[in-house]
Structure 1
Amino acid sequence: MQTEAGTTLTPEPDHATGAAAPTRHRPRLFWVVIVVAVVWLALDQVTKYLAEQHLTQGDPIPLVGGLLQLRLIYNSGAAFSLATGATGLLTILAVSVVVYIIWSARRLGSLGWAWGLGLLLGGATGNLTDRLFRPPNFGEGHVVDFLALPNFPVFNVADMGITAAAILIGWQALRGVSPDGSRSGGDAADERRPDPADD
């Protein structure tokens, strides 16, 4: 069922009465996911381009008193240089993640989840773009990393988006907020209450 305001209501079981209770799905939140993802993807690709234009492998540039370094490397693994050498498998996994996020975004009812999934989609797509279109081969390209902290793997803006997404999604889960905006725990009325961040 869809309201005049464009909010889709999907029946859910009412734990108190057994009757169906509506959960709000907001079509506009799909576009929040897409816009956040596109902006983050653009930021990721622009910074990678600048890194390649102004940095040289093996010649790091210290910033913030050496706390942060600009250090250009080409990573065949996942975020933060994990699973190095498994680029083909990571490409397939990234494509699957992107497709799943886009499919899930159609039924969101929580702004917090929308931001989290948008950052995750933007980060995953940023690194996937490198794997698809950079050397050595299509689907096996190496990801551009250029940000380095002490005792920490070199990373990029896409990795930052993935990390921020994990924090946001984890926070929503700890609050008991489901992707559709409903809340777990408490009485039945609380479980059907939408995420306050949407108001």
Structure 2
Amino acid sequence: MATVALALLAADFLTKQMALTDFSGSDPTETLGGLLKFTLVFNSGGAFSFGEGNTWFFTVVKATVIVLLLVVSPRIRTRFWAVAFGLVIAGAAGNLVDRLFRAPSPGQGLVVDWIQLPHWPVFNLADCAVVCGSALVMWASTRGIRLDGTIASETPTEPDGTESGGAEQAVAGRGR
């Protein structure tokens, strides 16, 4: 988890620094026949510029998400969950660093976005990491895959909430 988070956080930081040096908001750099553009944008809101001007809110949310995932992370026993958590932590941390240390002020900093696809808002690697990590978390959660790699039993539960028999299946070769 830490390896994924630190590698992506470093990549996000380096690419944002490159974007600040090499790209412009008024003259996008086009590639792949215009399919992909590099456009420098400073975002005070969340995804899709939702909540623009409420930078403080996103600062608090990102910090809270990171803390909660770090608190839960010792229960992880599979690479799948480690990668998923690492992606979400890296993405949240990448944009949190911008909010804490970029202008106009600590906690109110603007996020550097620079990747643009047709008919899509400008984004960055941190945004990609949050989306991919969140998609993995949702996929595993809807399938009942627990942090230890076991699958939640579909066996009925007793009135006290305990399972009424049946063995749990294991994921990724992890057995009981």
TM-score range, shorter chain: 0.7 to 0.9
RMSD: 1.6
2:133 matches 1:170 = no
Paired residue total: 165
1:197 deviates by 6.2
1:198 deviates by 5.8
- Which residue is equivalent to 2:150? 182
CA shift digits 1:36-66 (9 cap, x unpaired) = 1100100000000000010122111111111
Asked if 1 retains the 8 angstrom alpha-carbon contact of 2:153 and 2:167, the reply is no
Q: Distance in 1 between matches of 2:32 and 2:57?
A: 36
SS across alignment from 1:144: strand
Q: Which ranges in structure 1 are unaligned for 5 or more consecutive residues?
A: 1-32
Q: Distance in 1 between matches of 2:97 and 2:33?
A: 33
- Which residue is equivalent to 1:70? 38
Counterpart of 1:132 in structure 2: which amino acid? L
1:150 deviates by 1.0
Asked if 2 retains the 8 angstrom alpha-carbon contact of 1:52 and 1:72, the reply is yes
- Which residue is equivalent to 2:16? 48
- TM-score (structure 1 length as normaliser): 0.78
Asked if 2 retains the 8 angstrom alpha-carbon contact of 1:109 and 1:194, the reply is no
1:152 deviates by 0.8
Q: Which ranges in structure 2 are unaligned for 5 or more consecutive residues?
A: 156-165
1:167 deviates by 1.7
Identity of aligned residues (%): 38
Asked if 2 retains the 8 angstrom alpha-carbon contact of 1:71 and 1:147, the reply is yes
Q: Distance in 2 between matches of 1:197 and 1:148?
A: 40
4+ runs deviating over 6 angstroms: none
Q: Distance in 2 between matches of 1:100 and 1:93?
A: 10
- TM-score (structure 2 length as normaliser): 0.88
Q: Distance in 2 between matches of 1:198 and 1:164?
A: 24
